[in-house]
């Protein structure tokens, strides 16, 4: 967690204490402790009982940018929690991954790459959809919270693999381009239980923003590929 904290902290300068991202991090910690306590009480492992969900919901207030429906588990989240870190049964994983793959929308105009400079700004931004954000704030991808991307940015997290030289190492064949787009749109299509946000499927980034992030990963001129 060292990387994400560093990266988030970097943005905290000059903001009132109550609004600092580490406060949010601390609250997220409280929530996961509450959740872990609740889970331990469940005989079946990961499935969350109705009273744990109720108790979680009573601990938070809905905000325009972060509603309490975020606390409802999807079928996929429930299956992954039940597996408790172990691989899902193959038939279940295959079905959930197929569902995720079927949800992916490719660019209507067939253009996958935008402007890597915009992509870098999106990768750096963790704004949008946080409870302290004003409604309508344009969301970023916060990619650096989990990935190394360019050589220049030293504050990055390691929850995800390094993406430094992603395009240089993989090239930009039609297959790579389609895979990368799909990974960004809905990562659960490739690995049902993984921590990366569904940037397209969950409506976090727009199609145009996704194109810019694609260019950051794949454009030979992008700092990621130097």
Which span (36-44, 47-55, 70-78, 137-145) binds ligand HEC, by CB under 6 A?
A: 137-145
The SS3 of residue 221 is: coil
Residue/partner pairs of 58-64 with CB below 8 Å, 24 or more apart: 59/30, 59/31, 59/34, 60/31, 63/131, 64/135
For the window 170-189, what string marks contact with ligand HEC as x by the rule CB under 6 A?
----------x--xx--x--
Question: According to the binding rule CB under 6 A, does residue 128 interact with ligand HEC?
Answer: no
Q: Tokens 């650096």, residue?
A: 144
Of 80 and 143, CB closest to ligand HEC: 143
Of 31 and 159, CB closest to ligand HEC: 159
Give the torsion sign (CA, 102, 104, 109, 110): negative
Instruction: Rule CB under 6 A: choose which of 3, 21, 141, 200 binds ligand HEC.
Output: 141
The SS3 of residue 63 is: strand
Tell me phi and psi for residue 200, to 5 degrees. Answer: -85, -55
Question: According to the binding rule CB under 6 A, does residue 76 interact with ligand HEC?
Answer: no
Instruction: Rule CB under 6 A: choose which of 60, 106, 131, 190 binds ligand HEC.
Output: 190
Of 51 and 162, CB closest to ligand HEC: 162
CB 159 within 8 A of CB 169: no
Of 20 and 166, CB closest to ligand HEC: 166
b (16+ CB within 10 A) / e for 157-177: beebeebbbbbeebebeeebb
- Residues at the site binding ligand HEC, with contacts judged by CB under 6 A: 123, 141-143, 145-147, 159-161, 163, 180, 183-184, 187, 190-191, 194-197, 199, 213, 217
């Amino acid at each position: 967690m060292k990387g994400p904290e560093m990266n988030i902290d970097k943005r905290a300068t000059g903001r009132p204490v109550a609004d600092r991202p580490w406060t949010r991090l601390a609250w997220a910690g409280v929530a996961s402790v509450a959740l872990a306590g609740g889970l331990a009480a469940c005989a079946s492992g990961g499935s969350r009982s109705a009273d744990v969900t109720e108790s979680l919901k009573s601990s938070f207030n809905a905000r325009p940018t972060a509603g309490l429906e975020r606390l409802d588990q999807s079928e996929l989240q429930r299956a992954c929690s039940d597996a408790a870190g172990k691989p899902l049964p193959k038939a279940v994983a295959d079905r959930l991954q197929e569902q995720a793959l079927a949800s992916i929308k490719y660019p209507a105009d067939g253009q996958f790459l935008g402007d890597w400079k915009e992509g870098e700004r999106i990768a750096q931004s963790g704004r949008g959809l946080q409870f302290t954000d004003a409604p309508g704030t344009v969301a970023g991808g916060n990619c650096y919270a989990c990935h190394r991307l360019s050589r220049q940015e030293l504050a990055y997290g390691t929850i995800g693999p390094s993406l430094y030289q992603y395009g240089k190492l993989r090239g930009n064949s039609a297959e790579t381009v389609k895979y990368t787009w799909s990974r960004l749109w809905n990562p659960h299509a490739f690995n049902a239980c993984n921590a990366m946000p569904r940037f397209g499927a969950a409506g976090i980034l727009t199609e145009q923003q996704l194109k810019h992030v694609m260019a950051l990963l794949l454009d030979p001129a992008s700092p990621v590929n130097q």
